Every structure is written in structure tokens, then in C-alpha cells.
Amino acid sequence: MSITLEDLQLPEVQISNNVATINHSRQNESQKELEQLLSLTDLDKIEDALEWLASEETKVEKHLGEILDTKTDIENGFDDLFNLLPLIEEAQDEIQPLNSGISYMYNSIRDLHAEIKLLNEEKLKIENTEKLVKEGQDLLNSIKELELAISDKDILSSSAIVHKCLRIIDSFKDLPDKESTKNHSNSKENEIGDIKLLKLKILEQVGVSYNNQDISDVLEEQRVRVLNLVNTSFEDAVHNNDNKTIGICFKQYPLLREENLGLDKYTKLLCEKVSENYKQLKVKSGIEGAFMLRLANLFDSMAYLIDSNFNIVNRYYGPGRMTRVIQRFQLELDKRVVRILEAFEDERQIARLQLEAINTNKIGLDGLSALSRKLQADNLNSSIGGQGMSWKGVRTPQSSALKPQNRPSESHSDSESQAIDLKIVSKAVNELAMMANRSETFLRYLQQQGELNTTGINKIDSEIKNIFLSAETIVNEQSRNGILVKDVYSGIKDNNNTLRVDQKSGLLVGTQLEQLLGWMQKVYLEFEKYSTSRAFNKALMLDDVEKLEGWGIPISGDNDSVKNKGSSGGFLSQFSSSSFTKGSSQEPKISLTSSCTGDVFYVIQIALYRAISIQKADVFSSLVSIVAEMLKSSYVGLLEREIQLGWVYPQPGSVTNKNYLSQDSRSPRSSSESTFRPSKEVTGMLGLGSSDWKMSLKNSLTGSTFGSALGLAATGNEQIADQQKRICVGLNNLDVSISYLSALCDGLLGKIKSSWAKLGNGSPNDSNEQMKAEEAIQSLNSISSKMSMVLVQGLNQLSNQALKLRIRQSLKESYLDIKYVLSDEEFADTQNDNLFQQRMFMKLDSLLKPFKARLTENNGNTLIELVIDVLVADWQRAILQSKFNLLGGLAFERDVKSVQNYFEMFVTSNIRPKFSKLVQMSQIMTSSISELEKEPSPTNIAGSNENEKGRNNSILNSTQHPSKTGIVGLGTSVDELPILSVSEISTLVSNRLNS
């Protein structure tokens, strides 16, 4: 090996190239610096540059010296390298013989390794041959031992020997397949052929040693003898109820390659145990739920047997073998379920009840609607007929008053058999629901067991036909069940229900249990519709609205009780309302709702919760749609007709002096006239226009003989109280029904999420079922919007008919002789004796407290808010047409604050925004004169230009800022205030008097 000079010079070339590159870059930089130095003109800079150049020259010389000093070391290094070259060549010459020797030795060892490998293979063949010969001898000895064991009837030893011999023969006949040998050489194939010949030779020799017979045939004959012995022992043990021997025999069948036979015999035994257990269940058929107990006992027994034997079967028979046991159980269940349901159908008279239910359901919801209208018409006719002379041609509010009837005994002659049938149907519905629930639960349990067996089935997929029952066996077994042929079961069988094996889970699909479950769900739904509609019907008929307490005295709406109060009454003069409490000592206890509301929702709750237990979204959704239609068409329709009867007040007592206020009870703010005769303009501004004379004419006609002849005579207080009660109770029932419906839907949703989630296995099908049920609940909950709409309409109607006119009259009468143009003395008097507030609060008490006591809290609040709207609108309109001065504005502000505080005692909602315009008006009325003088006169507002309109907004803007006597005192925030219009502000400004 030699090193040339070119090799040594190659690094120098690379180094020189790198150095050249660096030098080139440095030359470029030096060239730029030199050009800068040559361009200098300043003497000082030139001197500095010369000094710098001198120093750089010194550095360069020093660096060159250092480089020259290393020349000797480099030359010495090259000399040493050249001296080593001969030594390296000598070493190469010496190594060459050694390398040749190593190559020779490697070739010799490789040949030796091949020979040793051949020896090992031959040794392995010898060992395998010895092993096979030993196994052959063992097989021969085992067969001889087997004969002795069979003669001694030792099933444990004989089964173990048979299993051992079968395993040996299988090992002799088990050869590698083509896939495992196709990549081997011909020598390997020859070797496999030699082993095969050797095994066959050994088996042949064993047969020769055993009377010249085929050893496989001999073993099969012995296996059959052992199998017969095991079968005999098993049957004797079953006959003698020897569980220990049964267990021993059960474990021998897998050893004899008779797994299916062992499982079939064992399953048959278990089914007999179930039959004995079922016979011990002594439940009389006439007891309610008897058939559900029988069915539940059957399912529980089957589930217990499956759970208790699952591990045993898997241990001794292998994974997936439990599938065959479950298939046998399914066939046995078909037999017994058919018997139970046939007995159930006969005992409970399902066919007859189903026919009646179907006919009733055809009438369905129309019948319920007709019933609610009939109840309304019957009460109406009885109320009209009880009045003696009545005008049939005109239906007045008084003529529509409802007279109570004895609803529980209504249609008593309508065949007591129907009532009996209803009881029978109710029992059948409960029993059907529970039976369907248990059946659905058991089928879900079987599905879970099938999923557990899926892994084991996949492991022995090649033997799957041996695991499952054959199609012939399935058909023969089910044909003995007596397929249901009665008309009552019609429609439950179709082509999709053909009995077959699900190849994935191994379960039987299309069993009669599944078909009968569909029949139970179908009949349950029919019976549930029937019983729910009948119970719904009964709840409406037995409504106790006639017997409710506290409704004997009607709401009179008569304000004559104010007459004797005068100015000395002092009622609520300190702005404190003596709020009425339902059931307090001031009034008798009043029942706000009738029984039909609770009864109806109880019936619905029971039905829907029962439907949830069926665990089928289609069944639940169907019942929800029926219930929703009953609520909308019958229940809500009945309440809607109740509240639309029309409000009626009893005739007021004779009033001798309409202007009942004496001279002593007149307010310091009263006008100088002794009587107040409002003009058309005044009545118009209070909203009491042309409608007043109609009420007066109506009152005069109903109290006259001529009106009696026309059928317009006053209705008795009892009938009027009944009509008022029905309206108020109807409104209360609607309000409570909305809460009941919301609570019911929440409960149903929670029940479905909790109970269905436990039963499901998380599959998409279970999620879809739950989603369908939740959608049905949402549709049921949507009925609350219809109820709310009817309730709002009823409260508006009640406000318009019962309170609107009287509130306006109360405001008019409270302002009978009140003015807001006050002197200092009059203003001081109003501080001690505010007659307007006394009158107003007395009238509001007499009008509102009876309604507040007879309505639920929500209805009472809504009604009072409607009253506030009427009062505030009329009050605002009246003030805009009234004159006032500063002291009158202060009095008005105090009146507004007092009325607002009064209503706040009645309601829990925020009503301050409703008084916001009155608050703004009071602030304008209490503004200083200087602010009002800045405003233009009202006659110039219409023709004012934009600048003038801008000035008109100054007071409008000022009302948005609280003052000491205005908004702050009333506690109303600026954001809640609607802005007064420019015309309203101008009207107030023009009504301001300086005096």
C-alpha cells in the first residue's frame, strides 16, 4: 500500500482554494478602504490614516514572521511521513499469508457446519420416529385399558381414555397443509411425505397388533360404547335427581366429541326444571297481575339459568357454545309464552274488550269533544229552564249562567257493564304494560348475551354450522308450539318474522315471543287509548266545580259601600293597603281550582309513565299524540268555553242619591258647585263616552217588569255566582294546567333518560328511540302555548267585561269635585285629608280584592296589570285636559306615587314602567315657572321651524333627569321611561296657571 504525492497535495489544493476565496473577499474590502483613504482631503484625517496604515503594516509583518517560523516544523513532519512508507509496505506483505490461512479455515468450518446440520436433522427424525412409535404403543395400550374401563362402567376413565386416543389419532392424521409447504424445497416435501408414510405405517402396525383391524374404526366403536354408557348414566341421574352424577356426565360429552348432544340434553333438563318451578308457582288467574307474575317468573328463571351456566359451558365446551343453549331456551320460551298468553286472552276476555276498545277508539276524540259541549249545553239549558219566564230568542250573559248538576250520576243508566268493562280494561292495561315491559327487558337481555357470545363464535367460525341448531330442528320445534291462529292474534305474523338464526349473534330471530310482544304492545295501545279516554271523560264529568267552597256570594262590583265612609273614614289614607289573604279570617276559604285539572293530569301522567315502561318510542309517541289531541280538543276546549260565558254582576241595590257625597265630605280641592254634572267633554276625556247610557239602559231593563216579560229579568244571585265561579275557576285551571304540563313533561323526559339509558347498550338504534320519545314530549309541551293564548284571551275578556268600565267610573267618581288649581290653604288641607286617595283606594279595594282572592297569583297579577293599563291611560288623558298650578302639580305627584304604591302591594311584578308617563307629567307639572316661560305657546308649535322644535325639546330632555320631587321619589329608573310626545308636553305647558 503506497501513498502518492498527489494524495498528500489534495488537502493543500482545498486549503488553497479556501484561502484564495478569503483573500479575494479581503482584497475587495481593502480596495474599498484604500479608495476611501485616497479620497481624504482633511490634513488631520490624512495623518490619522497614515498612523493607522503604519500600525497595520506592523501587524502584517509580525504575522508573516510567525508563519515563517512554522516552516521548519512542517518540513520535519513531511520527512517523518516519507520515512513511514517503507514500513507500511512491509506490513502489507506480512499480512497476506495470514489472510489466506483464515479464508481456508472458514471454508473448512462451513463444510463442517453443513454436515453437522444434516446430522441434527437425522437425529430429529430419529427422535420423532421414536416419539411416534411411543405414541403408537401408547395408543395400543390405551385401547386395551379402555376395554377394561368400559367393562367396569367407569365413565370418567373411559371418557378420558377415549379423549386421549382421539387426540393421538388426530396427531397422526394431522399433516401440514399446502400453504405451509409450498415455499419449501423438494427435499422438504419428501421429508413430509416420509413422516406421513411413517405415521400411516405405525397406525397400520397398531391395527395389526389389535386383531388386524383399522384402529380408527376400533376407537369409534369404543367411543360409541362409552357415549351410550354416559347417556345411560345421565338419564339415570336425571331420574334419581342426582345432581352430582349429572354434572359428571355433563363434563364427559366434550371429551367424547359430542358437545351438541351434551348441550341439548343438559338444556332439556334445565327446561324441565323451569317447568317444575313454574308448576310450583300457584297464582290464581283471577288475581290482578297473575299472568304478569307467571311471565316474569318464566323470564327470571331463564335468565338465572343462562347466567349461572354461562361460565360452566364456556369452560368445558369452549367459547361460543352457550349460543346453542340460548337457542334451545328461546324455543322453550316460545312454547310457554304462547300458553301463558292464550290463558291470559281467555281469562281476561281480551277479544271482546279489544273489539269494544276499537269501536270506542273509532269514535275517539270527537266523542270527548262532543261530551264537553254536551256538558256545557246541559248546564246552560238547566240554568235557563230554572228561571221561569225567559226569552228563548236572545242569549244574554245572564241566560248563559250555569246551573250545577249532579254529574256523577249523569248517564247512570248508561249500562253499568261499561263501568265494569272499564275496570277490567284498566286491569288488563296494567297487566299488558308490565308483561310487555318484562318481555322487552328479557329480549334486550338476550341481545346482550348474544353480543357476549359473538367473540367466541368468531373464533370457531369454521364450525359455526355445528354450533347452531339446524333449520330443520328449528322448524320442527316451533311447529309443536301451535302457531297462534285465533283472530285476536291476527296481524302479528308476516314474512319478516320467519324464524331464523342471526349468524352474527347466534340468536333466533322471529320467535313467537317477539311476535307476541308486538301483539301485546298493539293491544296495550288500544286499551290505553280506551281507558285513558274513558278516565278523561269521567274526570270531566265528575268535576267538583259545583261543590267548591267560598263561591256562594257573587262578586257585586257595587261601590255603594263607599257612601258611609265620607272624609272621616280614613281608609288607606296612609297609603297602606290591607291586602286580602286567601282563607284569612276576613273571608271564607275559597277553592281556586276544580278537581278536573288534577284528575286529568293524573290520568295522563299514569298513562304516559306506563307507556314509558313499554320501552318503545313508537308506542309512546302514539299515546302522546292521542293525549295531546284530547287536551287540545276536549280539556282546553271545555275551559275555553267556560271562560267565554261572559261576566255577569248581580243587580245593585236601589240607590237614592247618586251624588252620595255630602257637603261635609267634599274635598278642599272641590269646585264651588254643590253637585257635579260632567259634560260630554269631561266624560269623553275619562273614556266614559257613549257606552255609559247602554249600561244604564241594560240595568233599568233587567230590573223592570217589561224586561222580565222579554226574558231579560235579573238572574238570581246563585246562578250569577255560579257563572262567575266557572269563569274564575276556568282561568285558574288553565294557569295551573300550564304548570302541571311543564312539570309532567320534565318528569317524562327525566324518566326516559334514566330508565331507557340503563336498558340500552349505546347502539344508534337506542339513541334514535330516545330521540323519538323526546320529540314526542316536546310536541306535548307545545300545548302550553295554546293554553297560554286562551288564558291571555280570557283575562283580557274578564278585564274588559268586569273591570274596565268600573275602573273608569271609579276614576271619574274619585275626581268628582277634585281640582289641581290650589291655593296655599287648600294645598295644606290636602296634606291632612286627601279625599281623592280615600275614594280611589276604597273603590279599587271593592273592585280588585274579590278578584285577587278568587284568582291564582299569576292570573291576579296579570288582571291587575290590565287594570293598571286602563287606569293610567284614562288618568293621563284626563290630566292632559285639566288646568293646574304648581301646588296642584305637587298634589298630583303625591297622588301618582300613592296609587303606584297601592298597586305594588297587589302584584309581585314590576309595574313602575306603567306609571312612567304619569311620573314625567308630574315632573313637568312641578317644574319652575322660568322653565315653562321659555317654551313657545301651543299655537305656534304646529308652524314652528326646526330651531323652534329644538327648543320645544328642552323640557322633554329635562324630564329624563330625576328631580327631588319627581322620578327619584317614585323610584323609577330613567331607562324605564317612555318619552312624552312634544304635543303632550306642549299641552301640559299650556294648562299651567301662574296663580
Q: What pLDDT shows up at residue 499?
A: 80
Secondary structure (3-state) at 544: coil
Secondary structure (3-state) at 285: coil
Q: What pLDDT shows up at residue 54?
A: 85
Q: Residues 132, 202: contact at Cβ < 8 Å?
A: yes
Whether the CA torsion 195, 196, 197, 198 is positive or negative: it is positive
Q: For the segment 383-405, what is each residue's pLDDT rounded down to a tens digit?
A: 433 333 222 322 333 333 333 33
φ, ψ dihedrals at 500, nearest 5°: -155, 170
Q: Residues 434, 613: contact at Cβ < 8 Å?
A: yes
Residues 6 or more apart in contact with residue 62 via CB below 8 angstroms: none
What is the separation of C-alpha 36 from the centre of its chain, rounded to a whole number of angstroms? 88
The amino acid that residue 456 corresponds to is G
- Nearest alpha carbon to residue 140 among 81, 39, 241, 213: 213
What gap in Å lies between CA 822 and CA 732, rounded to an integer? 46
| β-sheet bridge partners, residue 820 | 884
DSSP letter at 935?
Answer: S
Cell triple for 434: 308490565
Q: What pLDDT shows up at residue 30?
A: 64
What gap in Å lies between CA 723 and CA 725, rounded to an integer? 5
Secondary structure (3-state) at 106: helix
Q: Residues 594, 733: contact at Cβ < 8 Å?
A: yes
- Nearest alpha carbon to residue 284 among 274, 296, 294, 297: 294
What angle (nearest 5°) sits at the alpha carbon of residue 270, between those of residues 264 and 276? 140
What gap in Å lies between CA 681 and CA 686, rounded to an integer? 9
φ, ψ dihedrals at 501, nearest 5°: -105, 130
Q: Residues 796, 866: contact at Cβ < 8 Å?
A: yes
Cell triple for 779: 310536541
What gap in Å lies between CA 643 and CA 724, rounded to an integer? 9
| β-sheet bridge partners, residue 884 | 820, 992
What gap in Å lies between CA 565 and CA 550, rounded to an integer? 27
Q: What share of the chain is helix, strand, coil (3-state, %, to 5)?
A: 75, 0, 25
Give me the half-sphere count of Cα atoms (radius 13 Å) on the Cβ side of residue 598.
6
- Treating both helix axes as pointing N-terminal to C-terminal, what angle do 215-240 and 243-252 enclose, rounded to 10 degrees? 160
Q: What pLDDT shows up at residue 217?
A: 84
DSSP letter at 500?
Answer: E
- Nearest alpha carbon to residue 444 among 303, 643, 579: 303
Q: In which residue ranges of the chain is CATH 1.20.58.1970 found?
A: 817-931+980-994
- Nearest alpha carbon to residue 532 among 436, 433, 440: 433
| β-sheet bridge partners, residue 500 | 509
Alpha helices in 39-70 (DSSP H): 43-69
- Nearest alpha carbon to residue 569 among 253, 370, 360, 835: 835
Q: Residues 326, 507: contact at Cβ < 8 Å?
A: yes
What is the separation of C-alpha 675 from the centre of its chain, rounded to a whole number of angstroms? 68
Residues 6 or more apart in contact with residue 873 via CB below 8 angstroms: 687
Q: What pLDDT shows up at residue 3?
A: 37
- pLDDT, averaged across the chain: 74
- Nearest alpha carbon to residue 513 among 202, 239, 295: 295
The amino acid that residue 7 corresponds to is D
Determine how many CB atoms are found less than 10 A away from the CB of residue 989. 22
Residues 6 or more apart in contact with residue 436 via CB below 8 angstroms: 517, 520, 521, 524, 613, 614
φ, ψ dihedrals at 992, nearest 5°: -75, 130
Secondary structure (3-state) at 884: strand
Alpha helices in 855-981 (DSSP H): 857-879, 886-904, 916-925, 929-933, 938-941, 946-958, 967-970
Task: Tell me the Ramachandran region of residue 444: left when phi exceeds 0, alpha when psi lies from -120 to 50, beta otherwise.
Answer: alpha
- Treating both helix axes as pointing N-terminal to C-terminal, what angle do 857-879 and 835-854 enclose, rounded to 10 degrees? 150
Alpha helices in 615-716 (DSSP H): 617-630, 636-643, 680-685, 691-702, 705-709
Q: Residues 230, 252: contact at Cβ < 8 Å?
A: yes
What is the separation of C-alpha 92 from the centre of its chain, rounded to a whole number of angstroms? 91
Determine which helix (DSSP H) or strand (DSSP E) holds 473, and give its type and residue range.
Answer: helix 471-479
Ranges of the chain with pLDDT below 50: 1-16, 19, 175-185, 365, 368, 371, 380-419, 464, 483, 495, 560-586, 654-714, 935-977
Q: What pLDDT shows up at residue 128?
A: 77
Determine how many CB atoms are found less than 10 A away from the CB of residue 553. 14
Q: What pLDDT shows up at residue 712?
A: 46
Whether the CA torsion 35, 37, 43, 45 is positive or negative: it is positive
Cell triple for 791: 288564558
Q: Which CATH class is domain 817-931+980-994?
A: mainly alpha
Q: Residues 877, 933: contact at Cβ < 8 Å?
A: no
